[in-house]
Structure 1
Amino acid sequence: MDAVLSSSRAGTGEPLLLLHGMGSSRRDFTAVLPLLTARFDVLDVDLPGVGSSSALDRRPTVAAITDAVERTLVEEGMGRVHVLGNSLGARVGLELARRGRALSVVAIAPSGLNVPPERLVQGSGMALARVVMRVGAPLVGALSRSALGRSALLAPLKARPWATSPEEAVGAREGFADSRDYWRTLLWGLLVDVPRGLDRISCPVTLVQGVADWIASGQTVRYLPLVPGSRFVPLLWAGHAPQSDRPRTIVRLVEETAARAAQPGDSSASR
């Protein structure tokens, strides 16, 4: 059986799960973590094959990755949780909601609803990023120490890459260069994934996308008619992984979406 995922846990309050995107690690939430732990009991995980998390023994489909996340929640003694996810992590968050394991979800640029030409472009870009980051991996440590270096590393993902932390730059190396199951995850987790059963989601969902996100293009808004009661929020001056572009705004959205879960009159409140 696959092992539980590597994670860190901090804070007190309602349970909140953080799920990073492909090409990063749990370090990508560095900018929002101190703000979230003041309000939530936060579990920040590395997805399979990233950081200290083992790769899966089976195909890393969204379902299989979600299974691994659920095992980790059980190990941590957590039941239903609020979720903040980005990209592939947002897609896994929606799958948790479909399974009834989420109290609420803030899904930033969730993968899964891009059309075939967009998948081709995304796959090509992710493949190139893997190769470039593998070649440049020895330089990431040095580049991460300057705003200019972090801008070079993170410009495709962030609208304000110079404002990121060294932790986020190292996270990109962990997600792109060091990932131990990159190619299978790219294929099974992203390129052939087609979401199903989204109409069974009954918790509050906020869909978020940065207006400077060229990776996910327009796929986030496509979830709106498929997820009952979901809401869409565009973020100005924000990219595909905007956790450090607009940290306070993202924390506010998590708090507001979590509050909706406690309102019985909300049409999308958990049942």
Structure 2
Amino acid sequence: MAYRLAGSGEPLLLLHGIGATKDDFSELIPRLAEHFEVLAVDLPGHGSSPMLEVRPTVAAITDAIIADLDARGLDRVHVLGNSLGGRIALEMATRGRALSVVALSPSGLGLPPERVFQGGLMTAARIANKLRNPLIERMSRNVVGRTALTAGLRALPWRASRRESLSVKGGFAEAEGCWSMLWDAILWDVPIGMPRITCPVTLAQGVLDMVASAQTVRYTPLIPGARFVPLPYAGHAPQSDTPDTIVELVRRTAARAHATT
């Protein structure tokens, strides 16, 4: 899979949500690289990463990520994930491959009506971005266009950078694996094994998240020692809504990993 590497120190893996790419973390990467060796990945079928040859379930995507980490000689890593990326981060933790996890609005615990609603939103985003794909590059050059591209995912979309807004081009607009991933990794996903997690976990969700409803806090009683943090003035993908808070959450959660070893 395609990675962007930056910084030095302990490895920190960044996992984006469905319909995005590693560029969704583009403004966070330099800040995180001051403290970690950052590996930002394009999930299968998104950005520059090819589709999987099997159904893109959470388990299969996690298998692919772990295989890439093995190839890089990496065992356990800190993980920051958003939405589906947060769900995959928790799956890695159940397998003992995470040193610590910060999961921003992780998918997986939606009730049936919430899953239908979330699926409808993702479908609308896919269709809308495919239709405006020829305009996305031009839209990303000004604040009005960037706001239109990231509205709904961010609570303060006008703060999104050009690279962050272009994430929808390699994601919702052009991702080959978008439909199958929506079906297999989100709508039909049922998390198991959460009580097996032994690393520090911080669950965070924007209070203005209109996509994932109350899914995040439902993980708290399932994961031993997990902490839930609400993010004021933040949406479903809060990377540019509250960047300083996210960096601090990652640092503090990583520090908890050292305190328990």
> In which range does the TM-score fall when normalised by the shorter chain?
over 0.9
- The correspondence of residues 18-167 of structure 1 with structure 2, limited to 5 A, is 18-167=14-163
Which residue does the alignment assign to 1:175? 171
Identify which of 199, 203, 206 aligns with 2:202. Answer: 206
Distance, in Å, in 1 between the alignment partners of 2:241 and 2:26 is 12
Q: Deviations over 1:202-241 (max 9, x none)?
A: 0000000000100011010000010110000000010100
Q: Deviations over 1:58-113 (max 9, x none)?
A: 10000000011101111222110000000000000000000000000000000000
* Cα-to-partner distance string for 1:129-180 (whole Å, 9 max, x where unaligned): 1111000001000100111111111111011111111101110121101101
Which secondary structure state, in structure 2, belongs to the residue aligned with residue 43 of structure 1?
Answer: strand
Offset of residue 8 of structure 1: 1.3
Q: Do 2:16 and 2:22's aligned partners in 1 also have CA atoms closer than 8 Å?
A: yes
Equivalent in the alignment of 2:230:
234
Q: In 1, Cα distance between the equivalents of 2:73 and 2:244?
A: 29
2:186 pairs with 1:190: yes
Write out the 4+ residue segments of structure 1 that deviate beyond 4 Å after TM superposition. Answer: none
Partners in 2 of 1:44 and 1:119 — Cα distance?
27
Task: Identify the residue that residue 267 of structure 1 maps to in structure 2.
Answer: none
* CA–CA distance in structure 2, aligned partners of residues 217 and 147 of structure 1: 27
Structure 2 equivalent of residue 244 of structure 1: 240
Matched to 2:23, the amino acid is R
1:82 alignment partner AA? H
Q: How many residues align?
A: 261
What runs of 5+ residues in structure 2 fail to find an aligned partner? none
3-state secondary structure, aligned to 1:9 = strand
Q: RMSD over aligned Cα, in angstroms?
A: 0.7
| 1:225 counterpart SS class | helix
1:8 is aligned, of 4, 13, 26, to: 4
Q: Which amino acid aligns with 1:131?
A: I
Contact 2:6–2:30 under 8 Å retained in 1:
no
1:17 corresponds in structure 2 to 13
Q: Report the identity percentage.
A: 56
The one-letter amino acid of 1:8's match is R
**Contact preservation (8 Å) 2:172, 2:178:** yes
TM-score, reference length from structure 1 = 0.95
The answer for the alignment partner of 2:211 in structure 1 is 215
Distance 2:125 2:8 in 1: 37
Q: Which moved more, 1:75-84 or 1:189-198?
A: 75-84
C-alpha distance in 1, partners of 2:220/2:122?
26
**TM-score in terms of structure 2 length:** 0.99
